[in-house]
Chains A and B, each alone.
Chain A
Amino acid sequence: MYTPPPMPRRTLLRGALGLGTAAALAACGRDSTTARTSGDVDLALWTHDPGYEAFFRKGIPEADRLADFRYHLTVTRAGPADIVTKLLAQAVAGRGTPDMAGFEIGSFPRMLRGDISERLLHDFTPDIAAVPGLKDDLLPARTAPYRKDGRVYALDSDTPMVVYYYRDDLFTKYGLAKDTPTWEEFAELGARVNKDHNASLCVVSTNGSDTAQIVQSFQMLLYQRGGAFFDADQQLVLDSAEAEEVLGFLCEGLRSGFVIDISDYYGAAMQTALKQGRVIGLPMAIWYKSYGLVPNVPEQKGKWRVRAMPRFAEGGGTTAALGGTGFGVIKDKANTRAATDFLLNTWLTHEGQVRRFIETGYLPTRRSVFEDPQLRGLKDDFCGGQRLFGLYRDLLPDVPPQHTSPDQSILFDVLAGNLLRAYRGDVSPRQALRRTAEEFRDQAGR
């Protein structure tokens, strides 16, 4: 019998090194894509908001009950823009992507560029169709921002309608009517208040380092007036009569003092303005109470109230929409099915949406949940015990869709600069919008 000669030590070492390298390379390879259909699942979630983390963790028992999985959650927190950047980097690397990710609405348009969303994100359209009545119950206004070519790539966390916040005590003290029906009448009141009390009833942001903030001030009133940035086909529709009217209204408000320019909605400048009583009212999204007012002026608890925005005399609705976060699932992964089930069984159930509002303050994205008696009975301590949900339900039909475009960041960059020029009086509203449209078309073509 032939007996092979003993292997030299060097050959053995070489072999071991080769095997080790192969094993290491294999470990660096793509994630396993064999789909899990039941059992223990460790879901990786990326989000920018600790509120969402708490919500999903609390939702695990319910998700376990409704699906064939036993969920464990590993959460990574990062800035909204970083989530998209890191997700794309991990996708290029072929590993390390999360199972679920929360896309802040301002960052999501990056996912719409080229075929990124098709390649990376699970399409929820068949899942929504599979649940009886869900498609009609989901608010189209809140699926629009995450929709491309008829497919829904994320499910929104909120119906972030815009309302008017005001200091009830100071409105009473200054003798201001709390139910002024139109913006035009309200602006006259505002000019008088500014002259008599050095206070303003509306705010625009001039935060140079945050173009989205500058745009937001204009966006809220533009959408309320019936204008928009993009249509459903992702075409720019900014250069409109409505946009000119709204921008002219804000510019005139700045001259009269009805509007004040603040460098940061959320930071020290706004805090000072609120504490000094320079800002006694402003239109903002419903989440601003939790992220702007409560942290900046907790001592003013009970003094604030919420009402519907005044209407524009020339037309438009009673509210707009601002912000939101869409939760998406990464496709073609072992946990894709499990993550989709988890999202549907926590985020989209009636109970889940009720719990979401109670725990995080984010409004339901299902029409039927707005009829829930539990929500309608809730009182808001910061707003002097107001029952706000009834107001939100009344505003719901007026919430406009927010269509986005992969070129949205280009628009925000050029629009922010031109808005500031118009606010300063360097250009007219008409010129500012024309320039924006021209610069956008020039840059978006690259």
Chain B
Amino acid sequence: MTTAIADPASSARKRTGARRTAPRLKQSRAPYLFIAPFYVLYVLFMLVPVLVSLWLSLTEWVGLGTPRWVGLRNYRLLATDVSFHRALGNTGVFVMIAVFVVVPLALLIAQALNTRGLRVRDLWRTAYFVPIVVSPIIVALIFGLIFDRQFGLLNSVLRALFGTGGVDWLGDPDLAKVSIGLVMLWRWTGYLTVFFLAGLQAVPKELYEAAALDGAGRVRTFTTVTLPALKPVTAFVVVTSFIGAAQIFEEPYLLTGGGPAESTLSVTMFIYRAAFQRQQFGYAAAAAVVLFVLVFGLSQLFNRLLGIGRATS
């Protein structure tokens, strides 16, 4: 039998080494532990749903039981689905309204609200911001009453002013889009105005003084000083408006239900309809993936075009 004799010096070295490594490890782990909750939640609530959606888009599933693998069939069907094409077209129209009508109008209103000497400025700002606070259901109910063909407020006003009414605001396929656009305008303009106002208040006064010294008028000051100074804010507002409008749901869902004849059906409504009215979860997931790819790709394109995130010289 052999007896191992421990070397006291070696043991002491090991102990000292252990004491040195443990705190270092703890120290190096600490930052990861602090940021870990975010990543755990990110994986659970972002990555997992995205990956499951991707997988689901390759299956046929009624919402219960086991999904059946169908490969790319859902995507092939989407490519020939007239309803989906209509939804894409309608969403494109809503995006155009958001980017080319709502955003410029918000900028003009912000400019007006930023004018020196404007009386009851805070009241105006509140008035423009209120629509975003109101519940979409209330908005839809009120606008439903306003747009009603037979007994609506808008037609009554038109009748009183011009002797003509009976415009089918929600029943005519083209006018229904316009009506949704008007509601978008009413609801989102004030919200975006707040961003522009914040941007305007950050423009150095010296720039305006210099422009005034150069003899620039209002329009020239606006185009040569205000607009360039607001570029980062504008870029942010345009991209967020684009993403918001591409996912529009509440306004058409509550006001027209996507009708008449799918003329206001948006892509998100198409997804909702497929999943929760038709029990076609795989098909809905495929449409969601297509929407994600389109929104992501176009957002990246906007980011590059508008130079978001790039250092300004």
Contacts and interface: CB of A to CB of B under 8 A. Distances in A.
Nearest to A110: B279
Contact of A263 (B149, B172, B273, B280): B149
A406 interface: yes
A410 B259 contact: no
B63 A88 contact: yes
In terms of DSSP, what is the predominant structure of the interface of chain A? helix
Interface in A75-114: 81, 85, 88, 91-92, 110, 113-114
Given A116-B279, A410-B278, A273 B64 contact: no
Contacts of B262: 413, 417
Nearest to B74: A446
A268 interface: yes
A208 B171 contact: yes
A262 interface: yes
Given A88-B64, A113-B62, A115-B65, A409 B259 contact: no
A263 B257 contact: no
A260 B257 CA distance: 21
A208 B260 contact: yes
Contacts of A115: 62, 64-65
Contact of A119 (B64, B253, B260): B64
Contacts of A268: 144-145, 148, 151
Contacts of B258: 208, 413
B82 interface: yes
- Chain A CB count within 10 A is highest, among B63, B264, B273, for B63
A34 interface: no
A116 B62 contact: yes
B212 interface: no
Interface in B121-147: 140, 144-145
Interface residues of B, number: 38
Given A110-B279, A261-B150, A446-B283, A91 B259 contact: no
In terms of DSSP, what is the predominant structure of the interface of chain B? loop
A417 B264 CA distance: 11
Nearest to A89: B63
Interface residues of A, number: 45
Interface in B245-268: 253-262, 264
Contacts of A420: 171, 259-261
A443 B150 contact: no
A280 to B, nearest CB: 15
A421 B261 contact: yes
A424 to B, nearest CB: 7
Interface in A170-188: none
A109 B81 CA distance: 23
Contact of B150 (A85, A214, A273, A439): A273
A413 B168 CA distance: 20
B259 A114 contact: no
Given A81-B277, A413-B273, A424 B171 contact: yes
A383 B165 CA distance: 36
- Chain A CB count within 10 A is highest, among B151, B260, B264, for B260
Interface string A265-299: 00111001100001000000000000000000000
Nearest to A267: B144
B285 interface: no
B279 A114 contact: yes
B170 interface: yes
Given A209-B257, A416-B259, A417-B260, A114 B150 contact: no
Contacts of A407: 278
Given A208-B259, A269-B148, A446-B77, A409 B62 contact: no
A319 interface: no
A119 B279 CA distance: 15
A208 B260 CA distance: 6
B64 A209 contact: no
A269 B150 contact: yes
Interface string A129-163: 00000000000000000000000000000000000
A442 B148 CA distance: 33
A210 interface: yes
Nearest to B63: A88
Contacts of B63: 88, 92, 113, 116
A206 interface: yes
A353 interface: no
A311 to B, nearest CB: 29
Nearest to A107: B277
Contacts of B221: none
Interface in B23-64: 62-64
Contacts of A243: none
Nearest to B81: A446
Contacts of B171: 206, 208, 261, 263, 420, 424
A404 interface: no
B69 interface: no
B123 to A, nearest CB: 30
Contact of B278 (A88, A272, A409): A409
A325 interface: no
A399 interface: no
B281 to A, nearest CB: 10
A418 interface: yes
Contacts of B140: 209
A428 interface: no
Contacts of A442: 82
Q: 9 closest A-B pairs (Cβ-Cβ)?
A: A417-B261, A209-B257, A114-B62, A208-B259, A208-B256, A113-B279, A272-B151, A409-B277, A420-B260
Interface of A: 81, 85, 88, 91-92, 110, 113-116, 119-120, 206-211, 214, 260-264, 267-269, 272-273, 278, 406-407, 409-410, 413, 416-418, 420-421, 424, 439, 442-443, 446
29 contacts: A88-B63, A92-B63, A110-B278, A110-B279, A113-B63, A114-B279, A115-B62, A116-B62, A116-B63, A119-B64, A120-B64, A206-B171, A206-B260, A207-B257, A208-B255, A208-B264, A209-B254, A209-B255, A214-B259, A263-B171, A264-B144, A278-B150, A413-B258, A416-B259, A416-B260, A420-B259, A420-B260, A424-B172, A446-B81
Given A115-B62, A208-B260, 11 more contacts: A116-B64, A119-B64, A206-B171, A209-B257, A211-B259, A263-B150, A269-B150, A273-B151, A413-B262, A439-B82, A446-B280
